[in-house]
């Protein structure tokens, strides 16, 4: 795994070097008397509520003011988070392990912290008046949540990791092609085909199947189906790949953006 690119001490500018700190090798400042240690713990924390008899144990950091108390807690370093993530996905969805690991590592390495200039003054009122950028999205402009509005907009989109071990299974013999399942599906998984009608009938639109790449297993379609053409089944390994009806023959060509 690629490690952090931090090379110099943010306190004194000295070079960082690997050193044993707290039973583990960490980057620490080599300058005499500096003492800076780089803790690779960007955000995740863990906290515990410890009960003893009828009481909850709280702790106080030795650097805190006397009346401050807190839960027993600490930061998680990146390797620990990554190991827990990998363990979770290795059991449940091995195929999703690699993409999730890569996403986590990119989140750690590519995030940029941008410092806003603030007025060079100790005056609180002036600081509060400093211009701040407004949020890009508010409740009126935020994208629709929980719904993929542009199906196939990502070549590698695969929602199979969201499923809980069950898939909707389509039986074409029972289907009356009413389209109710498509109306309720939040991810537009249903694939339709045009077929010539019998005799003088116009072209008919028929449900061909489900593209399991986009199916997150919410089972709304099953509740909506009036004919029993959709039923809930356990999802054995490889079932989705073997039975999916692809929405696009070549996702790269079909991207809308
Ligand atoms: S379970 Fe049905 S409604 Fe839910 S995402 Fe899959 S196909 Fe769509
Ligand atoms: S709701 Fe059921 S019957 Fe209607 S199109 Fe979907 S699968 Fe077919």
CA distance 78 to 108: 8
Cβ–Cβ under 8 Å, residues 221 and 215: no
What is the 218 CA–ligand 1 centroid distance (Å)? 5
pLDDT, residue 122, reads 61
pLDDT, residue 99, reads 83
Residue 180, ligand 2, Cβ within 6 A: yes
Q: Which ligand is nearest to the CA of 211?
A: 1
Closest atom of ligand 2 relative to the 228 alpha carbon: 2
pLDDT average, residue stretch 67-85: 82
Quick one: how far is CA 50 from the chain centroid?
Answer: 30
- Strands in the chain per DSSP E: 16-21, 24-29, 37-38, 45-48, 50-52, 55-57, 72-75, 166-170, 190-195, 204-210, 230-234
Structure tokens at 88: 């979770």
Q: Which mutation among 174, 225, 231 tests ligand 2's pocket best, with the greatest number of atoms within 8 A of CB?
A: 225
Give percent of the chain with pLDDT exceeding 90: 25
Please give the torsion angle defined by the CA atoms of residues 122, 123, 124 and 127, in that order, rounded to the nearest 10 degrees.
-80
pLDDT average, residue stretch 79-103: 82
pLDDT at 256 over 50: no
Q: Closest by alpha carbon to 41, among 72, 79, 68, 3? A: 79
The protein residue whose alpha carbon is closest to atom 6 in ligand 2 is 181
Q: Which ligand is nearest to the CA of 170?
A: 2
Residue 70, ligand 2, Cβ within 6 A: no
Q: What confidence tier does 204 reach under pLDDT thresholds 50, 70, 90?
A: confident
pLDDT average, residue stretch 61-67: 79
What is the 175 CA–ligand 2 centroid distance (Å)? 5
CATH topology of domain 160-254: Alpha-Beta Plaits (3.30.70)
pLDDT at 226 over 90: yes
Closest atom of ligand 2 relative to the 230 alpha carbon: 7
Mean pLDDT, rounded, of the chain = 81
Query: Domain segments of the chain: what residues?
Result: 1-39, 41-109, 160-254
pLDDT average, residue stretch 16-42: 84
Q: What confidence tier does 155 reach under pLDDT thresholds 50, 70, 90?
A: low
Which residues lie closer than 8 Å to 130 by C-beta, 6 or more apart?
116, 118, 119
pLDDT average, residue stretch 95-117: 78
Q: Which ligand is nearest to the CA of 207?
A: 2
- Helix, strand, or coil here: 168? strand
The protein residue whose alpha carbon is closest to atom 5 in ligand 1 is 215
Q: Which ligand is nearest to the CA of 163?
A: 1
Cβ–Cβ under 8 Å, residues 35 and 54: no
DSSP output for 88-139: HHHHH-HHHHHHHHHHHHHHHHH----PPP--SS--HHHHHTS--PPPS--T
**What are 167-176's pLDDT values in tens digits?**
999 999 999 9
Q: Which mutation among 181, 191, 192, 193 tests ligand 2's pocket best, with the greatest number of atoms within 8 A of CB?
A: 181
């Amino acid at each position: 795994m690629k490690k952090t690119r931090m090379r110099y001490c943010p306190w004194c500018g000295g070079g960082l070097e690997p050193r044993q700190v707290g039973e583990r090798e960490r980057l620490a400042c080599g300058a005499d008397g500096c003492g800076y240690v780089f803790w690779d713990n960007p955000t995740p924390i863990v906290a515990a509520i410890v009960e003893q008899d009828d009481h909850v144990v709280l702790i106080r950091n030795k650097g805190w003011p006397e009346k401050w108390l807190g839960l027993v807690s600490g930061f998680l370093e990146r390797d620990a988070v990554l190991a827990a993530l990998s363990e979770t996905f290795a059991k449940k969805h091995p195929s999703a392990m690699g993409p999730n690991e890569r996403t986590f590592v990119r989140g750690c390495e590519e995030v940029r912290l941008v410092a806003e200039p603030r007025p060079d003054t100790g005056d609180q009122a002036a600081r509060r008046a400093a211009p701040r950028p407004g949020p890009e999205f508010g409740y009126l402009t935020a994208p629709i949540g929980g719904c993929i509005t542009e199906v196939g907009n990502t070549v590698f989109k695969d929602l199979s990791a969201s499923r809980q071990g069950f898939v909707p299974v389509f039986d074409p013999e029972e289907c009356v092609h009413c389209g109710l399942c498509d109306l309720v599906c939040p991810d537009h998984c249903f694939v339709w085909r045009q077929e010539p009608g019998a005799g003088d009938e116009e072209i008919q639109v028929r449900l061909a199947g489900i593209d399991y790449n986009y199916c997150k297993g919410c089972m709304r379609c099953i509740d909506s189906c009036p004919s029993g053409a959709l039923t809930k089944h356990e999802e054995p390994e490889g079932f989705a790949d073997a039975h999916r009806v692809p929405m696009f023959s070549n996702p790269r060509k079909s991207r809308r953006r």
